[in-house]
Copies of this chain bind each other. A is one copy, B any other.
């Protein structure tokens, strides 16, 4: 295999999302939350003892991990925090997904960094086409079950990634809510919104989340992983062996405060859901094929209208979309 630094020299660098300066755009291409974060943050920042910034952050982020754990009915030992979910994904792929057996499986349209990381690490992967109907993805993944080696992400939730590690026999559940899951004792149907409830029984699951979308905190770069203690310990070991840059103390504090304002976030997220549903339904009436979404965006396409054309027409009208330009 090519030397690491040789491979790096050959990589195509990530290109940050388009930020044209020629006019003001309605910017939908990075899925930022249209609503501000918790109003309590204003107060936090105003009252913060800035003098304490002279001290290093708690490298273990104990309070924040406890707070995240509380939210999900887990202990801090089941929580790992990272500089955005990207750092978590990077460490997770590095630690768990380089085993030579099998391929990594993910949907064709997904987080654009998956193929980049795979190329970087030399991980083989296979993509599952997104069909016109939501069940196609589910069926596609089930048909590939024999080659599955352990990764699935949730294509319809921008802020959630779900990884199932090989090592236990895997069987895939259906995807009624845009969520794939794995269960070591057999097929599991996920009926709830969250996959957190699976962690009790699935020792091979890792859930990756971010504060960027539903918590409206893309600016602070905070992500986390939920999993069993054993997997979290393994991730922490990789992080501590590999880099020693913990999450900033300010970011830790902001995360704690945001988590305590559940009612505010519930209200803005209800608004997002309501707009998404009426938007999806309106698009459907216009003859668009719209995949059911649990996120703050929708996947939609129209027969005879190539992605690039839609993208350009929207741009002419001052709307930046993430529509494929290929």
Measuring CB to CB, which residues of chain A are less than 8 angstroms from any residue of chain B? Answer: 1, 3-5, 8, 11-17, 30, 32-37, 39, 41-42, 45-46, 48, 50-57, 59-60, 83-84, 86-87, 90, 94-95, 98-99, 113, 116, 120-121, 212, 216-221, 236-251, 254
Contact = CB atoms under 8 A, between A and B. Distances in A.
A54 B221 contact: no
Task: Name which of A56, A90, A254 has the most chain B CB atoms within 10 A of its CB.
Answer: A56
When A and B form their complex, which 3 residue pairs have the shortest distance between CB atoms, in order from nearest? A36-B51, A13-B240, A11-B241
Contact of A60 (B16, B48, B243): B16
Interface-central residue, A30, A83, A254, by most chain B CB under 10 Å: A83
Nearest to A1: B3
B236 A248 contact: no
B56 A219 contact: yes
A244 B113 contact: yes
Contacts of A238: 8
Nearest to A52: B219
Contact of A251 (B17, B237, B248): B248
Given A45-B45, A95-B8, A54 B218 contact: yes
A54 B36 contact: yes
Given A13-B240, A56-B212, 17 more contacts: A1-B3, A4-B121, A13-B236, A13-B239, A16-B244, A17-B56, A33-B54, A36-B53, A36-B54, A39-B50, A42-B50, A57-B221, A90-B243, A116-B241, A120-B242, A248-B250, A250-B250
Given A8-B94, A241-B116, A243-B86, A54 B14 contact: no
Contacts of A116: 241
Contacts of A220: 53, 248-250
Contacts of A46: 45-46
B245 A248 contact: no
Given A4-B98, A5-B94, A113-B244, A56 B37 contact: no
Contact of A221 (B4, B36, B45, B246): B246
A98 B116 CA distance: 22
B245 A86 contact: yes
Nearest to A237: B13
